[in-house]
Structure 1
Amino acid sequence: MMFQGFLDQHPVPGTLDFLGHTPSLSFTSEVDSEASISEASSEDLAPPLEAEVAPERHRVEAVKSKEKKKPRALANMLNMFKGKKKKGSSPSSAQPEPRPGPGSPAPTVEELKAALEGGRLEAAGSLLVLERELAALASAGKLDAEELVRRQSKVEALYTLLHSQVQRVLCRPLEAAPERLHQALAVVAEQEREDQRAAEAGPGAATLVNTRPRHWLQQWRHSVAVVASERMGARPAAHTEGRSEVEDAFLHMGRTMKEDLEAVVERLRPLFPAEFDVVATYARSYHEHFAAHVAALAQFELCERDAYLLLLWAQNLYPNDILKSPKLAAELQAVSLGSLLTPKQIRSLEATFLSSEVANVKGLMARALELEAQRWAQDVAPQKLDGRCHSELAIDIIQIVSQGQAKAENITPDLGKQIKQVLLVELAAFLRSYQHTFDEFLERGKQLTNYRANVIANINNCLSFRTSMEQSWPIVQDPRRHLLEPLSELRSHGFDTLLQSLFLDLKPLFKKFTKTRWAAPAETLEEILTTVGRQLPKFWELQDCFREELMEAVHLHLVKEYITCLSKCPLVLKKEEQQQQLARNILANAEAIRLFCTQNGSPATWLYPALPKLAEIIHLQDLNAIKMEVATYATSYPDFSKGHLSAILAIKGNLTNSDVKSIRNILDIDTGTQEPFRPLFSLIKLG
């Protein structure tokens, strides 16, 4: 889940550190209810309403034909006030119906008031009967308007008191005893049924104020909304270092909503009747507050961090870690709370995030390269890792790009895909900039003490870049041109720099071949290989793969320079024995070069035939055999030109001009080879 470990990703907002305590779900304050209770006190409640109603009952029997049992229930409610229960009744019933004998007195208004003030919700049934009795009297026209208003005010005062007591229970449902909570819920449910009955019966007497529907269930839902607003809007207990006020507020709201809804699901849902839809009621209230807070923030021009925070919560943390958390997912699936942000707001914030995050990544990469170049210029020696020169630049760059992509993926996988393509373009641009900066260092830093070590460190960097790109971002479209080509050029330029002094030392040695007219080729080659061997330890700080590449470059240079000397050889050997002797010398030198380079790690097997095949051309005397050998050679080395062939054939002084021409024409035949090849003869300049 995103919450776990989220605080460790600076500057990403932190984890919801959900507490294990049970939240106290409370409704609005009871000030309004307490203030209205006074309406049922003193003189308003002085005359017992039932005492005045009783003498009229025999006159309104026809009107109350459907309620014949109500007076008996009302009369026997007094026994309940005195602590007597109907035998077999449920303790959680809000409207017990005792069956006393005929003539039992009904509770007085004062008795009902005392019962309600004592929190005895069982009195709700008697109060409902009083309300109906009063409506019946009004309909029968047995009391004048003033008396009806006076009595109705007493009934309403009692209802205010009842509502207050019900609210006292429902305002903290987790603290109420289950039986008492059942009673309060039953009172609300009965009031809803009475609202419906009154609506079906139509308008009552004109002299009575219409008090139905009372909408107690609707008021309860409103109270839940107020609770949600108070709970979610409370200031966090303490500010956490490293987090903004907006982050603290979001963490507080997320933690509060998750914990409170879990308490509703686990403890309230089993107790509340289905018509209350308790889980959905609480969930919608908390969601509406959360969404309103987010929508309000979205109206402002947000900083990069807060814009990311809104997207992260709206697109990931809220739907996945709260709504789909294990304890809530099944319960909230049918509620359809929706998103904290509108699609338009999400698109706008995503565009802002992508733009700012790409710019941020670009700036961080540029800064990392700037600091690295400063270390080169200040002649700071690179680190050593397992005996290899090491630079943190590649690690820093890959981490910067990866974090940018991870931030987008934290919001949604789709946003991660979008930013990935843009970041790869920026990475390619960075690598080109890196290559140019490195080239400038190669030119300007030659006199620095740690010049060679820093060159090696940057060549080694190419491995880290290449490995990370291949593993983290499989590239399908022309990867060499966009990403790997700058690294290849950087590595090639680094090799050229490292080998420059070696190749300069070898140049006069190779010239000995022509100066001595190949009189002692074995001794000259031995001197060349000894010189190379002395300098190879300088390259041990390269990564193994790059040391092999560098050794291949040395191998290529030895073969190339040997062919160059052979092509510029002033020898013209007319005798077959002379040509065969030269061929034997070339074969011996070729084997010495191959053995030396192979032992030192060169993987350039493609260079093995280069010298032996030329020796074979020099050795052969049959014209057709020479032609076949030339054709085969040109297949292995497509850049073997007529000029190079002519230089080799010039050694064979027993060939006529016509023979040379016919052999050269072999190279005009198109072999159809289209495969890429490694250059060899194109590196050999004969002019």
Structure 2
Amino acid sequence: MLKMLTLFQGLPGQQLVPGVLDHLESPRKEPSTSEAESEASMSEASSEDLVSPLEAEAAPERGEEEASKKKKKAKGLANMFSVFTKGRKKKGQPSSAEPEGELQAPPGPGAPLPTVEALKADLELGRLEAAGPLLALERELRAAAAAGGVSEEELVRRQSKVEALHVLLLRPLACCAPPGGGATWGAWLSRALRRPGPGRDDGRSEAERAFLRMGRAMKEDLEVVAERLKPLFPADFGVVAVYAESYHEHFAAQLAAMAQFELCERDTYLLLLWVQNLYPNDIINSPKLAGELQGVKLGSLLPQKQIRLLEATFLSSEVSSVKELMARALGLESQRWAQDVAPQRLDGHCHSELAIDIIQIISHGQVKAESITLDLGMQIKRMLLVELAAFLRSYQRTFDDFLERCKQLKNYRVNIIANINNCLSFRTSVEQKWPSSQDLLGPLNELKGHGFDALLQSLFGDLKPLFKRFTQTHWAAPAQTLEAIILTVGERLPEFSELHDCFREELMELIHLHLVKEYIIRLSKRRVVLKTAEQQQQLAVHILANAALIQSFCTENGSSAAWLHQALPTLAEIIRLQDPSAIKIEVATYATCYPDFSKGHLSAILSIKGNLSNSDVKSIRSILDVNMGVREPVKSLFSLIKIG
């Protein structure tokens, strides 16, 4: 297949320059000097056809090529005449072809027609009432062609005169195309493409400008035909429809020829945009033409089979382009991480453009498809959803690789924060555009979680020896130990200030969970056995005081983990209580709040109570065998605590 030389430039998937429709409404400019000269030369050429038969016979031969063209033109004469008869009454029906409005009635059967020279003089003066006699001249020519007896050369000569007169008739009407097309249609197209259009610095290609000028010319010319030429013809002539059909046939021919080539991505998009949107909506159904063309069956500019093939090509190439652009954006972003480039700061937060770029790339592809048809927009939306999911998985893997390989870089932590902040833009976009596709959030949640782990790793490392003091001192000074822990955490919190508020709250919840979890681990170490009720009550008081301090500190710093509030106080109550039955009730309640609380965890806590018999311990443990409709925990606590 031939390779069409594209006039479109730019990245794959680049959208047609916005605002192309605006120019369909722009006023027509005066012709340039070169255009006026071209118009004049065309007029002169057309006027040559107005010479008398004797002058024509005296003219020299024009060559075999021109004679051949005239023969072809004569053969198509009957087709041309059929255009003028559309909307006419059939034989035997009353004729309604009498002129209306300013149109002069054609001379009667015995009355002589005005000469071609007289009509030419009237039309050159802009007298549109000459359209009536011109119509009568056409009828006479049609009758002569139907009756036979007139040579093809003579028919061609007369037809040339009629076409030249049509050029003069339509010149006051802003260069409208004559009905029937023919040789003068080519002249019209030349003028349409020479009309002043958008400047060459507007970013449009030559093909875009050509389609824009053709579309605007068709729209404006049909409006002029409807406003000024329609009143000069009989109502049943359907002059607007005749012109519209002539334009439509030429436009369809242009597009069909273009569609035969191997099109690039932007060519395909432009072709579909005109066929499916701009032509039917902004030209045919424009406010001034919709009523005039109601009932005119112009049809589609391209066959539906061709349109479907073009749509499939567009979808495939656009999705590939989106995929390529997203991969390129991620590659550039990860390159900046590896080169230790610090992220931008925006409103006091570490900021990356990656999420914005990806969202715009996705949205751009969908908007392009929707600009053709809404159905095509829905098709590409499903396809882009698949590509976005694949991109997010790739993003998460690339980020994990950065976390592992680049720990020694100076901007390691701030780049982690920037990527965590990215998740907000992604999450918001997914929730708005794909609310039923929450599985897209999986890779984002993993990326965020791994980022949090990396940010908290050094802090939790610093807290580990402090938590060991609880068991090393046999809980002799729990208040002082916890105060040291809280002080250490407070000193490190400013490191996370450049996270978005929502993520800083999530991170504070993780710190809250860590403090509670480590406290329970120390209680479960079986390092202390308290044999009296008084000792157990004293430890319970310490646990309650520590629980209150942890809760107040974490809540004041943004933690919303209310689900952790009862974790330590309930364990303190189990340690304080002495009646096995009361302990059972407390354990049963605790298991409903924390479904991952196991017999192993319970045994570790009960081991602190040195005055419980083995039978009491066994009886209390059995309460966890009762099915109380306990479900899997939404959030993990005891599953993070290993006993052994």
Matched residue SS, 2:314: helix
Matched residue SS, 1:269: helix
In structure 2, how many angstroms separate the alpha carbons of the residues matched to 1:265 and 1:494?
A: 67
Amino acid at match of 1:37: P
In structure 2, how many angstroms separate the alpha carbons of the residues matched to 1:40 and 1:684?
A: 109
Which has the higher mean CA deviation after the structures are superposed, 502-511 or 326-335? 326-335
Matched residue SS, 2:126: coil
What's the counterpart of residue 415 of structure 1? 376
In structure 1, how many angstroms separate the alpha carbons of the residues matched to 2:595 and 2:640?
A: 13
- The correspondence of residues 50-449 of structure 1 with structure 2, limited to 5 A, is 93-94=104-105, 126-127=111-112, 162=115, 166=119, 176-185=126-135, 187-188=137-138, 191=140, 195=143, 224-234=181-191, 235-236=193-194, 240-241=200-201, 242-449=203-410
Structure 1 residues 629 and 217: CA distance shift in structure 2, 3 A: farther
What's the counterpart of residue 147 of structure 1? none
Structure 2's unaligned 5+ residue stretches are 1-9, 32-38, 59-100, 167-177
TM-superposed CA distance for 1:275, in Å, is: 3.9
Match of 1:450 among 398, 408, 411: 411
Q: Deviations over 1:397-446 (max 9, x none)?
A: 00000000000000000000000011011011111111111111111111
In structure 1, how many angstroms separate the alpha carbons of the residues matched to 2:328 and 2:151?
A: 81
Task: State the TM-score, normalizing by the size of structure 1.
Answer: 0.76
Amino acid at match of 1:21: R
Structure 1 residues 288 and 652: CA distance shift in structure 2, 3 A: same
In structure 1, how many angstroms separate the alpha carbons of the residues matched to 2:232 and 2:495?
A: 81
Match of 1:549 among 499, 506, 512: 506
Structure 1 residues 255 and 96: CA distance shift in structure 2, 3 A: closer
TM-superposed CA distance for 1:344, in Å, is: 0.9
In structure 2, how many angstroms separate the alpha carbons of the residues matched to 1:617 and 1:186?
A: 112
Q: Deviations over 1:640-665 (max 9, x none)?
A: 01100000000011111111111111
Amino acid at match of 2:327: A
Structure 1 residues 91 and 454: CA distance shift in structure 2, 3 A: closer
The answer on whether the counterparts of 1:23 and 1:259 sit within 8 Å (CA) in structure 2 is: no
Amino acid at match of 1:414: D
In structure 2, how many angstroms separate the alpha carbons of the residues matched to 1:671 and 1:552?
A: 29
Match of 1:34 among 18, 35, 50: 50
In structure 2, how many angstroms separate the alpha carbons of the residues matched to 1:629 and 1:574?
A: 20
Match of 1:589 among 531, 543, 546: 546
Amino acid at match of 1:177: R
Match of 1:523 among 480, 493, 496: 480
Match of 1:474 among 434, 451, 454: 434
What's the counterpart of residue 12 of structure 1? 16
TM-superposed CA distance for 1:679, in Å, is: 0.4
TM-superposed CA distance for 1:27, in Å, is: 9.3
In structure 2, how many angstroms separate the alpha carbons of the residues matched to 1:259 and 1:316?
A: 18
In structure 2, how many angstroms separate the alpha carbons of the residues matched to 1:423 and 1:294?
A: 29
In structure 2, how many angstroms separate the alpha carbons of the residues matched to 1:207 and 1:480?
A: 79
Match of 2:525 among 568, 582, 591: 568
Structure 1 residues 370 and 96: CA distance shift in structure 2, 3 A: closer
Amino acid at match of 2:308: R
TM-superposed CA distance for 1:447, in Å, is: 1.1
In structure 1, how many angstroms separate the alpha carbons of the residues matched to 2:30 and 2:189?
A: 12
In structure 1, how many angstroms separate the alpha carbons of the residues matched to 2:491 and 2:261?
A: 69
The answer on whether the counterparts of 1:232 and 1:286 sit within 8 Å (CA) in structure 2 is: no
In structure 2, how many angstroms separate the alpha carbons of the residues matched to 1:415 and 1:348?
A: 13
TM-superposed CA distance for 1:21, in Å, is: 3.3
In structure 2, how many angstroms separate the alpha carbons of the residues matched to 1:675 and 1:642?
A: 16
In structure 1, how many angstroms separate the alpha carbons of the residues matched to 2:508 and 2:28?
A: 68
The answer on whether the counterparts of 2:591 and 2:630 sit within 8 Å (CA) in structure 1 is: no
The answer on whether the counterparts of 2:594 and 2:633 sit within 8 Å (CA) in structure 1 is: no
The answer on whether the counterparts of 1:232 and 1:252 sit within 8 Å (CA) in structure 2 is: no
In structure 2, how many angstroms separate the alpha carbons of the residues matched to 1:684 and 1:93?
A: 102
The answer on whether the counterparts of 1:33 and 1:163 sit within 8 Å (CA) in structure 2 is: no
In structure 1, how many angstroms separate the alpha carbons of the residues matched to 2:102 and 2:500?
A: 83
TM-superposed CA distance for 1:11, in Å, is: 3.5
The answer on whether the counterparts of 1:225 and 1:282 sit within 8 Å (CA) in structure 2 is: no
The answer on whether the counterparts of 2:330 and 2:395 sit within 8 Å (CA) in structure 1 is: yes
Structure 1 residues 169 and 395: CA distance shift in structure 2, 3 A: farther
1:645 to 2:602 alignment: yes
Matched residue SS, 1:389: strand
Matched residue SS, 1:463: helix
In structure 2, how many angstroms separate the alpha carbons of the residues matched to 1:208 and 1:558?
A: 107
In structure 2, how many angstroms separate the alpha carbons of the residues matched to 1:278 and 1:207?
A: 28
The answer on whether the counterparts of 1:389 and 1:454 sit within 8 Å (CA) in structure 2 is: yes
The answer on whether the counterparts of 1:95 and 1:125 sit within 8 Å (CA) in structure 2 is: no
In structure 2, how many angstroms separate the alpha carbons of the residues matched to 1:557 and 1:351?
A: 53
Match of 2:465 among 491, 499, 508: 508
The answer on whether the counterparts of 1:93 and 1:186 sit within 8 Å (CA) in structure 2 is: no
Amino acid at match of 1:474: W
Structure 1 residues 381 and 41: CA distance shift in structure 2, 3 A: closer
Matched residue SS, 1:329: coil
Matched residue SS, 2:462: helix
**Larger Rg computed on CA atoms:** 1
TM-superposed CA distance for 1:127, in Å, is: 3.1
TM-superposed CA distance for 1:569, in Å, is: 3.8
Matched residue SS, 2:350: strand
Amino acid at match of 1:390: H
What's the counterpart of residue 115 of structure 1? none
Match of 1:661 among 597, 618, 639: 618
In structure 1, how many angstroms separate the alpha carbons of the residues matched to 2:28 and 2:346?
A: 50
Amino acid at match of 1:572: V
In structure 1, how many angstroms separate the alpha carbons of the residues matched to 2:107 and 2:366?
A: 66
TM-superposed CA distance for 1:608, in Å, is: 0.1
TM-superposed CA distance for 1:266, in Å, is: 1.2
Matched residue SS, 1:21: coil
Q: Deviations over 1:271-317 (max 9, x none)?
A: 22224321011111111111100000000000111111000110011
The answer on whether the counterparts of 2:595 and 2:631 sit within 8 Å (CA) in structure 1 is: no
Matched residue SS, 2:464: helix
Higher relative contact order (CA 8 A, sep 6+): 2
- Superposed CA RMSD: 3.3
The answer on whether the counterparts of 1:232 and 1:290 sit within 8 Å (CA) in structure 2 is: no
What's the counterpart of residue 84 of structure 1? none
Amino acid at match of 2:111: S
Amino acid at match of 1:475: P
Structure 1 residues 218 and 639: CA distance shift in structure 2, 3 A: farther
TM-superposed CA distance for 1:601, in Å, is: 0.6
Aligned pair count reads 561
What's the counterpart of residue 7 of structure 2? none
Structure 1 residues 631 and 434: CA distance shift in structure 2, 3 A: same
1:495 to 2:495 alignment: no
Structure 1 residues 541 and 437: CA distance shift in structure 2, 3 A: same
Match of 1:609 among 554, 563, 566: 566
Structure 1 residues 608 and 504: CA distance shift in structure 2, 3 A: same
The answer on whether the counterparts of 1:195 and 1:215 sit within 8 Å (CA) in structure 2 is: no
The answer on whether the counterparts of 1:225 and 1:286 sit within 8 Å (CA) in structure 2 is: no
TM-superposed CA distance for 1:498, in Å, is: 0.6
TM-superposed CA distance for 1:463, in Å, is: 0.3
In structure 2, how many angstroms separate the alpha carbons of the residues matched to 1:607 and 1:169?
A: 97
